[in-house]
Chain A
């Protein structure tokens, strides 16, 4: 067991996957010699050679398109899109190609690739380095969508994603790379080195896709969250003294409805939290799913706490970010109902 940051855990997962499977190749902008702008691939080129870990031209559709071709050959590419905000040029290759390959070729061609991308804000990244585009992927048949919230899960989920025979969008909340973040941006930064979820086995292990994790058991209400918002919800629950059950979804597609349903049926109240914009966000899917399966158990309307429907701002970042105060108000609202 070692203490790792999320970056170190992701790097370790790459290392183990490349060591174990010669078909795994890693590339993207700045990922080779330099090891990535967030250092998630540092040392891999030196260890495995530039044939298996290399820099790519600044062309996101080129990176994903080439990865689709590599999959057709039989490799297992793990590619990095430097920021999720840069993903849009690759969207056609992801949606029309990678996601559809198995279906349209009746299984002749498949896309066992992982597309990693740092997601979310809280780092003063402005509108081009802060977005959370998960809903643009959960709407696509054929994709799997994963959002880890801590180093241990990041490693286990990444290894499971690399093993997975289908394309996985792996969204890494960049605000969590170095430590958990509870939304109190004016307080000192906490490191994973002092957090129990920073304890990561150095051995090969996987965390199964499609399985949520209950981070905090409670009976007053259910919180559905993922990534950074798991910690913000925890802080809000502690500060407000609300006995919230907090579910870290971990995989958005396929969704662990079973865990969600059991919890909401127990608590009868549900708050859905994400950092992405509200309208047609993944929270809409979660609310609809809860309503469909738990309507007669609900004591109050489901409440969503999300980023506002604006571009992600720079100076107004903490007004945009759904912090603990807004979440506490949402708790009060569902508990009143």
Chain B
């Protein structure tokens, strides 16, 4: 018998930190169009391959190919491009506003625009999203007024949330957008509960839960998976794998699993991986999952493979923890460029029209910003009354809060 060797702890580290050369050569990416499209009622155990591949529609030449192509006409694609351009423009202006001190905090979507914009178009009005802070495309593509988003970001007098929430933690019930929590992961199981309620009520609506790669480590993720699986809830569970949880690389949450999508297998939930930078692929996979949910076939887990090109928020500098070259080396490209090239390839768009659209969108976002700033910003102009802080703690204000409000001088 040999003497036992001392154990040592394995702490996973990304292959690339500042100063290193990014290397995505071990990321296996199938050709666009190469991945099959299972029937929606295929048995979960027969489609495990879907968790280890990547559904892609747009190829390098800008063509839409394979069994997941053909769902969207040119008009819908132009609308999608417009949504993504709007979200990017919106982000740019709000980032700038934060730097100017007009608000305390901001979180952008750079590189991830296709995920929420395309997904929204696959769901219907009346369905409910339980988003994280990086799915504002659900609001933009759902027609929610940008001015109201800005009013929230500025915590101004017209803020629909009365100045109570951190910027970008929107809530828009009428637009199927659940109030965002800063406590990560909590919304995932709530989405399942909402979907269960729809089924209990014999409704036809479905829910979509959203979570980041890092937050899949939270117990809420596992609760959501077991509830969704056991009750066969009509819900789409989305993991947005943007590679980074602030400074922590996705391998820390993924552990020994090959993919996040593979997490679904232990629960018998059909799990599918999609190119999150491919507008058509995200839309096609979301539509497939929505059809499953609406047909009573239960939950689907989708891993959107994308890359967070910007910082986590305005509070961190990514160059402190990852290589600046990583995004340019990212093999799935950039979603707006890819959809634009596709539209040009099929003769439905041009550089001129693009420039024209961009100018229109810039004007539109600027006009919204002007309107929002007339209602004030965090540092100047009209603000929500401090009195509002005491409202909505309860439906009816109990005596102790009434006394405290008086004590505070309101």
Tell me the nearest residue of chain A to B397, going by C-beta: A254
Query: What A residues does B393 contact at CB under 8 A?
Result: 102-103, 141-142
Known contacts A61-B223, A106-B160, A92 near B171 by CB under 8 Å: no
Query: Which of B5-13, B23-31, B178-186, B329-337 faces chain A?
Result: B178-186
Query: Which of B197-205, B302-310, B314-322 faces chain A?
Result: B197-205
Tell me the nearest residue of chain A to B235, going by C-beta: A69
Q: Give me the 4 closest cross-chain CB pairs, A-B, nearest first.
A: A69-B193, A62-B223, A66-B193, A65-B189
Among B171, B223, B230, point to the contact of A106 (Cβ < 8 A). B171
A-B contact count (CB 8 A): 143
For the complex, is A109 an interface residue (Cβ under 8 Å from B)? yes
Query: Could you pull out 6 A-B pairs where Cβ atoms are within 8 angstroms?
Result: A25-B197, A75-B201, A93-B220, A106-B160, A164-B395, A255-B400
The range of chain B's interface size is 35 or more
For the complex, is A303 an interface residue (Cβ under 8 Å from B)? no
Among B186, B194, B226, point to the contact of A92 (Cβ < 8 A). B186
A69 touches B196 (CB 8 A): yes
For the complex, is A51 an interface residue (Cβ under 8 Å from B)? yes
B residues 146-201 in Cβ contact with A at 8 Å = 160-162, 164-165, 169, 171-173, 178-179, 181, 183, 186, 188-201
CA distance A59 to B230 in the complex (A): 13
Q: How far is the CB of B152 from chain A (nearest CB, A)?
A: 10
CB 8 Å contact bits of B84-104 with A (1 = contact, 0 = none)? 000000000000000000000
CA distance A75 to B194 in the complex (A): 9
B181 touches A73 (CB 8 A): no
Among A51, A57, A101, A104, point to the contact of B169 (Cβ < 8 A). A104
For the complex, is B136 an interface residue (Cβ under 8 Å from A)? no
Query: What B residues does A51 contact at CB under 8 A?
Result: 199-200
Known contacts A69-B130, A108-B171, A59 near B226 by CB under 8 Å: yes
For the complex, is A110 an interface residue (Cβ under 8 Å from B)? yes
A104 touches B171 (CB 8 A): yes
Count of A interface residues, CB-CB < 8 Å: 44
B171 touches A70 (CB 8 A): no
Known contacts A59-B223, A255-B400, A73 near B162 by CB under 8 Å: no
Tell me the nearest residue of chain B to A165, going by C-beta: B395
B residues 345-392 in Cβ contact with A at 8 Å = 392
B395 touches A102 (CB 8 A): yes
Known contacts A65-B220, A66-B189, A69-B189, A106 near B164 by CB under 8 Å: yes
CA distance A38 to B191 in the complex (A): 30
For the complex, is A68 an interface residue (Cβ under 8 Å from B)? yes
Query: What B residues does A107 contact at CB under 8 A?
Result: 392
B186 touches A96 (CB 8 A): yes
Q: How far is the CB of B196 from chain A (nearest CB, A)?
A: 6
Chain B residues engaging chain A, CB cutoff 8 angstroms: 128, 130, 160-162, 164-165, 169, 171-173, 178-179, 181, 183, 186, 188-201, 207, 219-220, 222-224, 226-227, 230, 392-395, 398-400
Main secondary structure of the interface of B (DSSP, over half): helix
Q: How far is the CB of B37 from chain A (nearest CB, A)?
A: 30
Max chain B C-beta neighbours (<10 A), residue from A67, A89, A108:
A108
Query: What A residues does B394 contact at CB under 8 A?
Result: 102, 142, 144, 166
Among A56, A57, A68, A106, point to the contact of B392 (Cβ < 8 A). A106
Tell me the nearest residue of chain A to B200, going by C-beta: A51
Known contacts A59-B227, A62-B226, A25 near B200 by CB under 8 Å: yes
Among B181, B194, B223, point to the contact of A72 (Cβ < 8 A). B194
For the complex, is A105 an interface residue (Cβ under 8 Å from B)? yes
A75 touches B197 (CB 8 A): yes
B181 touches A69 (CB 8 A): no
Known contacts A61-B220, A93-B220; 13 further A-B pairs (Cβ under 8 A): A61-B219, A66-B189, A72-B178, A73-B198, A75-B201, A96-B183, A97-B186, A97-B190, A102-B394, A104-B181, A106-B160, A107-B392, A109-B178
Query: What A residues does B189 contact at CB under 8 A?
Result: 61-62, 65-66, 69, 93
Max chain A C-beta neighbours (<10 A), residue from B178, B200, B207, B224:
B200
CA distance A107 to B388 in the complex (A): 12
Query: What A residues does B197 contact at CB under 8 A?
Result: 25, 69-70, 72-75
For the complex, is A265 an interface residue (Cβ under 8 Å from B)? no
Query: What A residues does B207 contact at CB under 8 A?
Result: 69
